Amino acid sequence: MAIPFAVYATIIAIVILLMLYVKYSHSYWSKRGVPYLEPTSIFGNMENPFNLKVGHMFSFKRCYEELKKRKERFGGIYFFTEPIFMPIDPDLIKSILTKDFPHFHGRGFVHNEKHDPLAAHLLNLEGEKWKTMRIKVTPTFTSGKMKYMFQTLLDCGNPMIDHVSHLCEKEQNIDIKEIVACYTTDIIGSCAFGLECNSFKDPNAEFRLYGRKEKAKAEGTEPLTIEEIAAQAFLFFVAGFETSSTTITFCLHELAFNQDIQDKLREEIREVYQKHNGKLTYDGIMEMKYMDQVVNETLRKYPPLPILNRVCSIDYKIPDTNITLPKGTKVVISNLGIQTDEEYYPDPMTFSPERFSEENKATRPNYTFLPFGEGPRVCIGLRFGMMQTKTALAMLLNNFKLTPGDNENYNICFDPKSFILQKKGKVLLKAEELCA
């Protein structure tokens, strides 16, 4: 049967309207006199979402590099048809994240509290609601509470050591990514939900299965309601589990390929164990200076959240310009771009913890190391994330020498679909048990 002319005409009209809409949307920055990157397709400056090769996080990094090459302080880009403002200059980044925070207190993540009460968590909330919740949740992460939770970290670390020890006997490649995910799942389960999850004894434990499923999708004194508690605990599970587990995994990957750094770190760990009567303590972890450098270098090269998001909530005049960003403008800061910028980190793909010695840190401008964000919305779990990462590394390296697994490549192929930076597939290492 012949297709009527009217159907053809409608299809052609829709395509033309769509093209006009894209063209109109992509003229946003030029109309405002903002330096911008020419969109390369209907997907703006992003990759074709139906054929992702490196992922959007690397598209943002590329935009950062392009604007930097042009010596711009900032620039406009397009996420599909949506205009995005990208600051490049660290002073402007500081203004957005900290100095002029009242203009940028939200992230612009759309959520519907009524239909999805679990979405009413810190990451999504804005304005007064966010401020109130932040004040209520902050006391969870004091150093006193941190010390109290430290025993849980050890309790969850011991089954991990037993498990790796068992695999060592069989001399097989071990999937460190899965092992570390079990460790962080058990910690979040214990600390946020008061549950003993047993991911090592039972790899199909409900909590671990839930973690895998998550991965697949991607007023002051008033007490918290049960819905609010549930939403924050849910966020801690999502934000705290994947970010820390990916950090530990990348760090072990680098240490397996950099035996000199691994040995130096083990030496420090063992000295501190000895000083504290052969035990791993909270104070001992805090004393490990080289450990701090190694973890920071990991977070530099592999920031688990490779971009920071903000939305402009009050019109904002960009300092030292006549340009005003209207309310509603989305802002993306590419911390992956900044942290691999040659100007701040020469030879950026080399893993070198020396970059984080006190002397070297002092040579860099502020706001060029942002793995936890900055300003009033900085990661609330920063200390907890660092603590669980360092505890796992200290326990593993005190007991095992780690080397790359069979056919494991140094250069990592990242999962292009994940908004958290992580390796596609397994991370295989070999472990050899060491004498105490």
Cα 347 to the center of its chain, rounded Å: 22
Residue type, 428: L
Q: Tokens 């010596």, residue? A: 71
* Nearest Cα to Cα of residue 156 among 193, 192, 199, 194: 199
- Residue 171: left if φ>0, alpha if ψ -120 to 50, beta else—which one? left
Binding residues for heme: 379
What are the distances in angstroms from CA 280 to CA 54, 189, 403? 40, 22, 24
Q: Which is nearer to ligand HEM, 17 or 378 (CB)?
A: 378
Per DSSP, the three-state class of 323 is coil
CB 344 within 8 A of CB 312: no
- The minimum distance between CB 30 and ligand HEM, in angstroms, equals 29
Give the nearer residue to ligand HEM in terms of CB position, either 127 or 346: 127
Smallest gap from Cβ 302 to ligand HEM, in A, equals: 9
Q: Enumerate the β-bridge partners of residue 268.
A: none
Give min distance, CB of 246 to ligand HEM, in A.
8
Indicate the residue among 37 and 187 with the shorter CB distance to ligand HEM: 187
CB of 111 to ligand HEM, least distance (A): 13
CB nearer ligand HEM, residue 43 or residue 104: 104
Rank residues 145 and 401 by Cβ distance to ligand HEM and give the closer one.
145
The DSSP string of 170-233 is: TT--EEHHHHHHHHHHHHHHHHHH-----TTT-TT-HHHHHHHHHHHH--TTSPPPHHHHHHHH
Min separation Cβ 194 and ligand HEM, Å: 14
Residue 109 C-beta: closest distance to ligand HEM, Å: 10
**Those residues with Cβ within 8 angstroms of residue 281's Cβ, 6 or more apart along the chain or in another chain:** 150
- Residue set of the binding site: 379
Listed in sequence order, the residues at least 6 apart from 185 whose beta carbon sits closer than 8 Å to its beta carbon are 197, 199, 207, 208, 211, 241, 245
CB of 23 to ligand HEM, least distance (A): 33
* DSSP H helices in 222-307: 226-257, 259-275, 282-287, 289-301
Interface with ligand HEM (CB under 6 A): 122-123, 134, 235-236, 239-240, 243-244, 247, 299, 304-305, 308, 371-374, 377-381, 384-385, 389
CA 244 to chain centre: 9
* CB of 348 or CB of 376, closer to ligand HEM: 376
Comparing CB distances to ligand HEM, the nearer of 423 and 430 is 423
The residue with tokens 């600390």 is: 191
- Of the pair 39, 381, the CB lying nearest ligand HEM is at 381
Instruction: Tell me which residue of 96, 177, 78 sits closest to 392, measured CA to CA.
Output: 177
Cβ within 8 Å of residue 420, ≥6 positions away: 242, 243, 246, 304, 305
Nearest-CB residue for ligand HEM: 373
Question: What's the closest the beta carbon of residue 329 comes to ligand HEM, in angstroms?
Answer: 16
